[in-house]
Structure 1
């Protein structure tokens, strides 16, 4: 038996090919993967799959479906995406994130009395990527290298306000030659504590800093936003012509009520401009509670998509609250899962596309829709999907939607196309 993995050292978002040769045709083989995050070493993950060697005595994970295991479809990364927590001391992997050390994944093959092992190194960034904290004019972190191109991607996170998690995207992007700036806009020192009435003028400072900073040479400013950050990215692109590309994962087409207001009842927008709350769609909590109650009775997972969909349908001020994306001066890439259960992002992206078509939008725009993708983080192979697909909450289970296979494919395909989108020159 001979275990081969290619490559053994790679960036965290790159695919691995695992294959085993020199087996007896028809022989049974078990492959196990195990890992932990360097910042949460007591939270341990493992996956496994059983295979039957083909007529040539080979098992190739890119070609062969497992007989059984933690995933049940053909995928060279199946063991990685299906990692499940096997032991824990209650740590939170979203805290104290550090992308300086690599993640190591142990691959073990067992066939009868034979055993082969290999350790894979998964880097969050290449060694040449440098980092600079910004705390004076705004809260952010710049990822760059001496040979960075003139393209700067501003990365905007979602409703949790946890900026350290954005480094999981920024390291891999900066390793491909971009300048990458993560920007915090609430829940940090000196910033609003809650995601409510965030002033858009704050980002004018960010754009000005990028244009003046000798490290970035920011001839071209791009935006990447996820979920609530996608709503923000589209809003900023509609207002500021310094943005030449915007890629959004699970965005919405409207400005919504402040998230804190979603449960407290505070009736203000998530965003403000010139000291005034921007027009917004109010979110009806009663819709959510009714949906949750119904799901609990049926013992099925619940989500928020129904709440957002019905709130939009019931709104009397849809046009005022709509993000005027037709006013943007940027190439646009929309990414959405058709099974998103956090909000109705697929409907929103269809509406954005219809708007751009109706207004004969002169810049490039594209929509990537994935049938079995839910509301997942935009980069693949970083956080095990078992951590994000379904989350225990209150008396039931909150689901982000989609399947293991659908989320894995959607993450991988859309991330690769996002990189290609940012790489492609802006059309004059």
Structure 2
């Protein structure tokens, strides 16, 4: 028992060292409220039928493609992810920045989050007058990328998915007990039941959180149902990762997704890998003094490397969405 408490303290120390973006929230009984940014003059707050988020409608005279925008373990509606939604609106897309945990009416912890919440959000999005319901995409990073792949493998008609710093598996729920012993709690649920998930490993003092995920992945053969069935997704996939990600091994997991898609006749996959970037590899480039940029720099790479990767990857993300939506013609022209 003493050893388990030492392990728990060690994990907490590693998380505190990584600072915000949800890391510290994992180990608090009642996580403090996450950031909830305002929709601003070009958006509108949505809090209806279980959908909580900011909607940024396309400024167009006909229905346009729509993209569901998902943040990571920080929860709420963060500034960093809101920038992505606004940037998508600026180039002509509808964007729904969705809060799926640690927000009003949502679970505080990232455990057993219902896939139905995402499906409700997509249904709501498709019903908007400004949206072409046949042109739907998703973008998410970190746990949001895991969620994006969860949705894409269970909801038909998603044309394009962008997964930044992705996971190749569904992980156990993010709570103290799950980092000590798997207790049947998953990050996600379906029909009220936890989705099959991979337990975490125990941390090493000199590696911290990265070892928790690496050791979990070393046992993935024991939990085959935890592997994301990417072959069930019938759209196109773009992934972005940083080779110096020290939060979790996103590039290795991205390569695993790519290999499974190839071996199981899955979707076409494009992988963007940035050798000098870390867990902050994807998003909107900002000044080095920006809080989100500074925090992400503690999760691998340097602020300059992450900013450079963001500039390069974002232009390619926009091109990816443009190409995939234009294949289905209609509203994109």
Tell me the TM-score normalized by structure 1: 0.63
Tell me if the contact between 1:130 and 1:145 (Cα under 8 Å) persists in the aligned partners: no
Could you say which residue in structure 2 is the equivalent of 1:402?
A: 301
Find the aligned partners of 1:251 and 1:401 in 2 and give their Cα distance. 15
Can you give the 5+ residue segments of structure 1 that lack an aligned partner in the other structure? 1-93, 101-128, 295-301, 393-397
Find the aligned partners of 1:218 and 1:385 in 2 and give their Cα distance. 39
1:152 to 2:74 alignment? no
What's the offset of the Cα at 1:381?
Answer: 2.8
1:415 to 2:314 alignment? yes
Find the aligned partners of 1:367 and 1:418 in 2 and give their Cα distance. 11
Could you say which residue in structure 1 is the equivalent of 2:276?
A: 372
Find the aligned partners of 1:204 and 1:97 in 2 and give their Cα distance. 23
Which range is displaced more, 314-323 or 367-376? 314-323
Find the aligned partners of 1:370 and 1:425 in 2 and give their Cα distance. 23
Tell me if the contact between 2:141 and 2:166 (Cα under 8 Å) persists in the aligned partners: yes
Cα gap change, 1:205 to 1:404, in 2 (>3 Å): closer
Find the aligned partners of 1:98 and 1:209 in 2 and give their Cα distance. 20
Matches of residues 60-209 of structure 1 in structure 2 within 5 Å?
Answer: 95=35, 97=37, 100=40, 130-137=42-49, 138-147=51-60, 150-165=64-79, 166-209=81-124
RMSD of aligned Cα (Å): 2.5
What's the offset of the Cα at 1:162?
Answer: 2.5
Higher normalized contact order (CA 8 Å, seq sep 6+, divided by chain length)? 2
Could you say which residue in structure 2 is the equivalent of 1:17?
A: none
> CA offsets, 1:214-233, max 9 Å, x none?
13233211000110000110
Tell me the TM-score normalized by structure 2: 0.79
1:271 paired residue among 172, 188, 192? 188
Tell me if the contact between 1:255 and 1:280 (Cα under 8 Å) persists in the aligned partners: yes
Could you say which residue in structure 1 is the equivalent of 2:20?
A: none
Q: Secondary structure at the match of 2:319?
A: helix
Aligned length: 289
Cα gap change, 1:130 to 1:99, in 2 (>3 Å): closer
Cα gap change, 1:260 to 1:383, in 2 (>3 Å): farther
Q: Secondary structure at the match of 2:224?
A: helix
Q: Secondary structure at the match of 2:66?
A: strand
Tell me if the contact between 2:281 and 2:307 (Cα under 8 Å) persists in the aligned partners: no
Tell me if the contact between 1:389 and 1:401 (Cα under 8 Å) persists in the aligned partners: no
Structure whose CA Rg is larger: 1
Please identify which structure carries the higher helix content.
Answer: 2
Tell me if the contact between 1:152 and 1:179 (Cα under 8 Å) persists in the aligned partners: yes
Can you give the 5+ residue segments of structure 2 that lack an aligned partner in the other structure? 1-33, 329-333
1:329 to 2:228 alignment? no
Cα gap change, 1:328 to 1:202, in 2 (>3 Å): same
What's the offset of the Cα at 1:185?
Answer: 0.9
Please identify which structure carries the higher strand content.
Answer: 1
